[in-house]
Amino acid sequence: MAGSEKTPQQSFMKSLFFGQIREDFIFPYPKVKAETAETVNMVVDTIDKFAKDNVRSAEWDEKMGMPREIVTSCAEMGLLGLAVPEDLGGLGLPQAGYARILQQVAAHDGGLAVTLGAHQSIGYKALLLFGNEEQRKRFLPRLAAGELIAAFCLTEPSSGSDAASIQTKAELSPDGKHYIVTGNKLWITNGAIAGFLTVFCKTDVIENGEKKEKVTCLAMELPSEGVQIGPNEHKLGIRASWTNAIHFDKVKVPVENVIGGVGQGFKVAMGVLNHGRMGLGAGCVGAAKNAIKASLEHATSRQQFKKKLIEFGMIKEKIARMTMHTYVAESMVYMTTNFIDRGDMDYSMESAAAKVFASEMLWEVLDENIQIWAGNGYMKEYPYERWLRDARINRIFEGTNEILRAFVALSGMQGPGQELAGLAKAIQYPLKGLGVVTDYATRKVKQSVFGESINAAHPRLKKIAGYLEEYTVELSQQTEILLKRHGKEIHLKQFAQKRIADVAIDLYAMYCTLSRVSAAITAKGEAACEMEIAIAEAFSMKAHRRIRGNFKAIDRNEDELMKLIADKTAENGGYIWDYFKE
Ligand code: MYA
């Protein structure tokens, strides 16, 4: 579809739900500017050298913490102000450069990546994105220099996925000069070392003459009277990082420290997380690359039945899948960071999709790495069980993959849902609504007769483009069927949401890969891109089978049976059978 044509939403994935392919958003695959690449590559080398001499992952895991001086050394290397503008003391990197560096840190140590990520992916990101000039000048230089370490305080004992339900309260002081904050935050990364907290609280606001409670984001500098930091939590993985509960008892925060406006905190939190999820996705790519290297080390040296492991088909299949999924995840991450760097559109769905794909990819890669290392992989003597423990959190934090799937499905369906509602109204009042009906009808006729076409992909990848053209139109058709079937109840239909989200994530993954491999063929020629082409084709064939299955299951599925099994299991208080008592 031509780039200049009107689209209902300024987001690539949202457009897919209308059956539209905004080629102009994703082709050509973004290229990093030479000067950014130079800086980033230098920092990457520095990290590798530093890690070799200083990162002691096994020891940190065992002792449940890294020395505080490691964070200081990271600050000295400029790693705490990666995206802070240069005039405020940072490296001024775009999101893509930031992500690439976090990717490298994660390749060395998950706990260290989380510490640096919690500081700048989310800890002071609200300030960077929504802070006013005075606030940015007051805090960012010290945050970039590591004088202040930041933490993001959203989660509470009773508020995890449901971020809007936080209870921490900020009340305006009688003189109107301060907010008085009281409440509890849970599992706050960097809590124990933080000097700067981004705290989300409920505040009273007046809207249309009515008093309401809305979320507000506050910058809190420590030490502050009334702040109590709990002990470091015992965790399954990322044990090198600090995770603490934080209690606020009537803590005074100046009103000048409101970030993004009173009552605007939910949007601030979501904006921060949309960025944060890209750092996490990139971290997963870094850790996966490292695991592939480890798997190969064993697969190419260990012999069984007089053959190297890599000569066996079942091991080849694993290595191929690990490489393929890492490449696809990387393609999604850097496509999405480019949306952020362009600054011109909504990338919330894309960043959620990349986080889900990358975190599940890493889990699978690390699991297969242990399988390849087999008995050795299971032993503490090797780092692989720790890698798996470290990676488990990625499917949970910065939005569980379940809540992000629901978000992808419902955000995608929101536009078509509004259009259908508008259509229903327009049909009721045919004269007034003629324009709406004609626009919709024209698009539908065009899509069903001519389909959508992809012109910017390399001709060598025609087959993949063909799948995408077909499935994008089908996504919009199936969305419409679901919306007509369930109406507003679609919010409650999580089995359906999961299927639609999985299709949308697979489609986005295919589009990103198609664009990247097209660019590679154009730059290097087909012969030099044999492996990239194989990855794009193999992934799209696998995704094609999943997508077909998901579409089919929209009408023919076992959802009711699964609900019955779950409900009965819950009613019975667990699994009831015992073969020896039957
Ligand atoms: S931090 C804690 C992480 N917590 C979460 O991620 C919470 C997840 N929950 C949510 O995201 C929201 O509550 C959901 C919305 C999505 C469920 N962008 O009615 P609504 C808009 C833009 O749907 P709800 C941590 O883990 C929406 O359009 N806008 O709201 C630390 C609507 O707008 P409008 C968004 O049902 C980890 C409005 O908001 C978004 O309440 C440390 C209301 O929406 C969005 N995304 O729930 C990590 N979502 O009214 C360090 C919603 O205009 C990591 N909206 O229509 C470092 C990396 C390390 C790497 C290591 C690798 C090895």
Over residues 6-18, mean pLDDT: 79
Distance CA 421, CA 425 (A): 6
Locate the ligand 1 atom nearest the alpha carbon of residue 399 and give its number: 6
List, chain by chain if needed, residues with CB within 6 Å of any ligand 1 atom.
106, 110, 113-114, 117-118, 121-122, 152, 154-155, 161-164, 189, 266, 270, 273-274, 279-280, 283-284, 287, 348, 391, 394, 397-399, 403, 407
pLDDT of residue 5: 47
Residue 571, Cβ neighbours under 10 Å: how many?
8
Whose alpha carbon is nearest atom 41 of ligand 1? 164
Locate the ligand 1 atom nearest the alpha carbon of residue 403 and give its number: 17
> Which mutation among 273, 396, 404, 497 tests ligand 1's pocket best, with the greatest number of atoms within 8 A of CB?
273
pLDDT, averaged across the chain: 95
Question: Catalytic site residue 398?
Answer: yes
Q: Going from the N-terminus, what domains does the chain have, and what CATH number goes with each?
A: 3-10+28-149 (1.10.540.10), 151-264 (2.40.110.10), 403-567 (1.20.140.10)
Locate the ligand 1 atom nearest the alpha carbon of residue 274 and give its number: 46
For residues 314 and 304, the answer to whether their CB atoms sit within 8 Å is no
The pLDDT tens digits of the residues spanning 144-154 come to 999 999 999 99
Distance CA 281, CA 286 (A): 9
The pLDDT tens digits of the residues spanning 400-419 come to 999 999 999 999 999 898 88
Catalytic residue among 350, 368, 385, 398: 398
Locate the ligand 1 atom nearest the alpha carbon of residue 165 and give its number: 41
**DSSP letters for 261-323:** -TT-HHHHHHHHHHHHHHHHHHHHHHHHHHHHHHHHHHHTT-EETTEEGGGSHHHHHHHHHHH
Whose alpha carbon is nearest atom 1 of ligand 1? 398
Angle at 260 between CA 259 and CA 261, to 5 degrees: 95
The pLDDT tens digits of the residues spanning 89-135 come to 999 999 999 999 999 999 999 999 999 999 999 999 999 999 999 99
